[in-house]
Amino acid sequence: MNTLFDKIWDAHVVQNVEDGPTQLYIDRLYCHEVTSPQAFEGMRQRGLKCLRPDQIFCMPDHNTPTHDQDKPIEDPVSKTQVDTLAKNAADFGLTHFGMMDDKNGIIHVVGPERGLSLPGMTIVCGDSHTSTHGAVGAVAFGIGTSEVEMVMASQCILQQKPKSMRINVEGQLKWGVTAKDIALYLMSKLTTSGATGYFVEYAGSAVRNLSMEGRLTLCNLSIEMGARGGFIAPDEKTFAYLKGREYAPKGEEWDKAVEYWKTLKSGDDAVFDKELTFQAEDIEPMITYGTNPGMGMGINEAVPTLDSIDEAGQASFIKSLDYMGFQPGEKLLGKKVDYVFLGACTNGRIEDFRMFTYLVKGKKKADGVTAWLVPGSWMVSKQIHEEGLDRVLEAAGFEIRQPGCSACLAMNDDKIPAGKLSVSTSNRNFEGRQGPGARTILASPLTAAAAAITGVITDPRVFMKENQN
Amino acid sequence: MKQKFDIIQSTCVPLPLENVDTDQIIPARFLKATTRDEKFFGDNLFRDWRFDKEGNPKPDFVLNDPTYGGEILVAGKNFGSGSSREHAAWAIAGYGFRVVISSFFADIHKNNELNNFVLPVVVSEEFLAELFASIKADPKMEVKVDVPNQTVTNLATGRSEHFDINGYKKYCLMNALDDIDFLLENKDKIEAYEQSR
């Protein structure tokens, strides 16, 4: 009761269907090329137009190659899907940021950075990482393609109101611990289903102290605990981030908006269905050892032993370690790494590139490591160049690619080969996620950078100390 | 596919693994289709568990074991976690499953199943464990899912449980109606809401 989630949800209720879901009004629908074609097809079959085309924004990101984007996509099936989005957007009168458009990038990076995602909004997309946009203080969640079609047709969606959860992270993060580590830590405590059925509000001093980029990373990973979405009440940091962005309100409209946004917080008397508190100082740089994001541990810890897993979960645990090629009870420090991936809607923002660059500055990429550094958008790419990060990275033996989802789910050419071990800043370590047979360790940009220069799993703090002296 | 639900009685396919994610149900490389061809997705259901690199069936995977079959998939807890891809629900429907039984479903996938006329039935951990044991003991045993009465029954042991589904969705399933039909009927309410903002 009286939570920020209630306030935003209630402000968007069109009606509560008797003995059924809520008909919820949606402010913003984002469409990418993978989960929208069948929705457009459905609209055509029903003979419908989009009810509010100016509230829908489309851009390809999953299939886009990360090189030679000025040339046609080589894979004909990927090309068809990307071309289909452009045609659908044109046919239905929707805004489309195509490949090579300077506004293109991963949808969850572009939305906030262009000021399209704003506090108090309801935002949906046929993509589970839509929770990212919660970082600006919006109720944002992933939906299926049938639901995308619902929103196109009616600017509404039918949803059961989820339960509310507040997760407080209090205190000061240890040096070398990032927003990604907070998220991996929470998943390791809650498991991948611990927040299913809930919408999460992140709070506490450690969350407040995160930059906007850090908040976007944290909210991005809400789905990996099973939560439909996660968000952070907007504050001065949010307003400063959004001010002047292309689609954010301007002038008087801005002042009016900020006045309203300042009311967007949970009441002192707010009651959550569940409330959890964690201490920031307990969090170490985290890595995963298994095939779901909840299978994580501090980088210096050992993989759990079989007897610590409950009986119903043992078959999955053994299957998972078999796939990864790890033994129960072993430490992963020093394991040879083949690939490093920096990017994705999780860690493809400017701050992530700053962190990675800070760690590798003056060093050399290890022989035998293939590193893919993929900015989340053209805007991020431009900023990398303006700040001179690209020159530092090049000197250390790294090259910057062109923006897109890339090796996070390997729908383009960026596939990790079977059996190879990848340290990845993305969001999922599922079997085959980065390519059939690929093995993924999820980690922060700092931990990924440490692996890239040593060629093995390494605690990034070793280098941070060195750099500080 | 829109189809009316009433009572379904069938043998089951057991998948006693937890946290089966949608990347396993249908890997990302099969998401490049631009049409909703359920047969294509069904043919690739659990692709990398079901077939080797050359496309040969892996004999130890349950879908390749002729002992098991039927319209009901029984899976370990937290079924359908991860990606929101509705292609996973299309694959399950396309393969011919009409019901998935588990002790826990991921939210988005659960909605996707319902929107594709596949019924997710949530049962207790005990019911699920007993059901896996019953199937193991007799692969020809059947389960009865009674949608009007919202009950699921293990016919080998007679154990029965009530399952939840809201009245609106139950009506939709029993009458083969989808949410867009409903929303289009409520356009006046949408416009009234927009004007009230």
pLDDT at A335: 98
Residue B30 · residue B87 · CB < 8 Å: yes
To the nearest whole number, what is the mean pLDDT of chain A? Answer: 97
pLDDT at A366: 98
Contact B187 A127 (CB under 8 A): no
pLDDT at A98: 98
Q: Pick from A373, A465, A380: which is nearest to A423 by CA?
A: A373
The CA–CA distances, whole Å, from B153 to A307, B127, B157, B159 equal: 33, 9, 8, 6
Contact A35 B85 (CB under 8 A): yes
The CA–CA distances, whole Å, from A168 to A2, A62, A71, A235, A296 equal: 17, 33, 47, 16, 20
pLDDT at B1: 74
pLDDT per position as a tens digit, A229-255: 999 999 999 999 999 999 999 999 999
pLDDT per position as a tens digit, A56-81: 999 999 999 999 999 999 999 999 99
Asked if B35 is an interface residue toward chain A (Cβ–Cβ < 8 A), one would say yes
Give the model's confidence band at A395: pLDDT under 50 very low, under 70 low, under 90 confident, else very high. very high
User: What average pLDDT does this structure show over A4-33?
Assistant: 97
pLDDT per position as a tens digit, A273-313: 999 999 999 999 999 999 999 999 999 999 999 999 998 89
Q: Find the CB nearest A80 among B34, B77, B86.
A: B34
Q: CA-CA distance, A418 to A301, in Å (whole number)?
A: 26
Collect all residues of chain B within an 8 Å Cβ-Cβ radius of residue A130: 84
Q: CA-CA distance, B172 to A146, in Å (whole number)?
A: 14
What is the ipTM for the molecules in this complex? 0.95
Helix and strand tally (H, E) in chain B?
A: 9, 8
Collect all residues of chain A within an 8 Å Cβ-Cβ radius of residue B182: 17, 158
Angle between helices A212-220 and A350-360 (to 10 degrees): 100
Give the model's confidence band at A469: pLDDT under 50 very low, under 70 low, under 90 confident, else very high. very low
* Most distant CA atoms of chain B, gap in Å: 62
pLDDT per position as a tens digit, A116-142: 999 999 999 999 999 999 999 999 999
Angle between helices A350-360 and A378-386 (to 10 degrees): 40
pLDDT per position as a tens digit, B165-175: 999 999 999 99
Q: Find the CB nearest A319 among B17, B82, B186.
A: B17
User: What average pLDDT does this structure show over A187-202?
Assistant: 97
Mention every residue, 6+ apart, whose C-beta is less than 8 A from residue A341. A371, A372, A374, A406, A407, A408, A414, A416, A422, A423, A424, A425, A426, A434, A448
Q: CA-CA distance, B122 to B126, in Å (whole number)?
A: 12
Give the model's confidence band at A464: pLDDT under 50 very low, under 70 low, under 90 confident, else very high. confident
pLDDT per position as a tens digit, A167-186: 999 999 999 999 999 999 99
Q: CA-CA distance, A245 to B120, in Å (whole number)?
A: 43
Both structure tokens of A448: 């990924």
pLDDT at B145: 98
pLDDT at A468: 52
Asked if B29 is an interface residue toward chain A (Cβ–Cβ < 8 A), one would say yes
Closest CA–CA distance from residue B24 to any residue of chain A (Å): 7
Q: Pick from A368, A340, A373: which is nearest to A443 by CA?
A: A340
pLDDT at A151: 98
Q: CA-CA distance, A445 to A340, in Å (whole number)?
A: 10
Best of A10, A27, A154, A323 to disrupt the B interface (most B CBs within 10 Å) is A154
Strands (E), A143-294: 156-159, 163-170, 198-203, 229-231, 274-279, 286-288
Both structure tokens of A413: 């050419």
User: What average pLDDT does this structure show over B50-69?
Assistant: 96
Asked if B188 is an interface residue toward chain A (Cβ–Cβ < 8 A), one would say no
